[in-house]
Amino acid sequence: MEIISKIEDLQQLLIDKACPIAIREDMIAGIAANAMALQLTKNIVDVIDWKNVATDPVRMQFLPLASELEEDHPNLALDSLSEKKDEVVAGVIHRYPNKVLFLLNKVCPAYCSFCTRSYLVGPSTQRVQKDKIKMPFKRRVKGLLEYLKCHPNINDVLISGGDLVLAKLPLLEDLLTELGQLTTIKSIRLGTRGLFFLPQYFFKDHPFHQLLAQQYLWLKKRGIEFSIQSHFNHANELNSLSQMAANELTSLGIKIRNQTVLLRGVNADLPSLQALIAALVAANIIPYYIYQMDMVPHAEHFRTSLQETITLSKQLEGCFTGFHTPKFVVDLPNGGGKTNIYAFEKYEKETGTYHYKSAVKANGPFKYYDPLRISRMET
């Protein structure tokens, strides 16, 4: 069984792994309330410690228990970063002056419960009716290229989704070839969780690896940095297969920078973050960002208060060399962009509201709210 996406297959897996019946029922109810579809890869199943499944940090990210869930804050939103407002042509989000985000697809090998793009990614669930991608891929690429030609100041393209590890290879190759021909582009980054979900795609004999190797060399000749943005949240995710996948890329010369979402119960404690960063560094992956979790619905149990995040960020100072110390950011609701977590202008304790300014937009407000659990505790 390579991919698990049917509830019957999950039921069977839980029985095979001798999961207690109470947890099985709790999980089935949790999945029914999830914003994201059920889907797991073999490597995820292998990494989960089924004997301690209730507290396992990898299980928590994909298989929520109903008993973990919390009431949503009233200001959560499916498109919490207002990406749709900054969509300049289909699939192209232009928020920062010199860079764009291109959403290539809407499918992933597995679905994370806290996904920031839960308005789009994966099949619809009982909870969330997903947006459809309206335009065929080739027309979206054409739109992207035309936009880039009209905006020669844009030199950095981040390709994400969904997860491009599932893209049809000829389409991905066409996209990269076209982008590489633009003399204005200096950096192309691929965002993927594939190193953990489908590590074998990055091994030498796999066509996906071969495409990356070829494109890297060709783009390098054209003076374009072609790099990977990975997404690891816990040291356990860097098992031997994921490490091998990362090694295959770095030995080609491809840089990998990692983004982590800070998740309560998963990695929001100092030992977990230290272990994660140590594992990333050992695999030659640069710890890039740690994100304050976005204000998306149906995943409220994962959100830390901003103060907890700031405390962790302070504790992490000096644990690693500066260039292995990730930057803690909050991606501001209302499309304000990534901002240093410390940079708020005002904090209202009664409502747990942090007021920020945006570096990229004049019109706010840009407010981040603590979970109700915190504001209730404090009043």
Binding site for ligand PLP (CB under 6 A): 93, 95-96, 99, 101, 158, 338
Question: What gap in Å lies between CA 220 and CA 211, rounded to an integer?
Answer: 14
- For ligand PLP, the closer of residues 38 and 93 by Cβ is 93
Minimum distance from residue 203 beta carbon to ligand PLP (Å): 27
Q: Does residue 298 touch ligand SF4 according to CB under 6 A?
A: no
Using CB under 6 A as the binding rule, the residues of this chain from 222 to 281 that contact ligand SF4 are: 231
- For ligand SF4, the closer of residues 26 and 163 by Cβ is 163
Minimum distance from residue 15 beta carbon to ligand SF4 (Å): 26
368 with 292: CB under 8 angstroms? yes
Bridge partner list, 340? 329
Minimum distance from residue 157 beta carbon to ligand PLP (Å): 9
216 with 252: CB under 8 angstroms? yes
What is the full DSSP assignment across 268-305? Answer: -SHHHHHHHHHHHHHTT-EEEEEEPPP--TT-GGGPPP
Give the Cβ contact number of residue 294 at 10 Å. Answer: 24
- What are the residues whose beta carbons fall under 8 Å from the beta carbon of 361, sequence distance 6 or more? 335, 336, 337
- For ligand SF4, the closer of residues 123 and 364 by Cβ is 123
Minimum distance from residue 95 beta carbon to ligand PLP (Å): 4
Question: What gap in Å lies between CA 354 and CA 335, rounded to an integer?
Answer: 15
Measured in Å, how far apart are the chain's first and last C-alpha atoms? 50
x/- letters, 3..42, toward ligand SF4 (CB under 6 A):
----------------------------------------
Using CB under 6 A as the binding rule, the residues of this chain from 90 to 119 that contact ligand SF4 are: 108, 111-112, 115, 117
Q: Both tokens of residue 117?
A: 């793009």
Using CB under 6 A as the binding rule, the residues of this chain from 110 to 169 that contact ligand SF4 are: 111-112, 115, 117, 121, 162-163
- For ligand PLP, the closer of residues 50 and 96 by Cβ is 96
Q: Please report, as ranges, the residues that interact with ligand SF4 according to CB under 6 A.
A: 108, 111-112, 115, 117, 121, 162-163, 193, 231
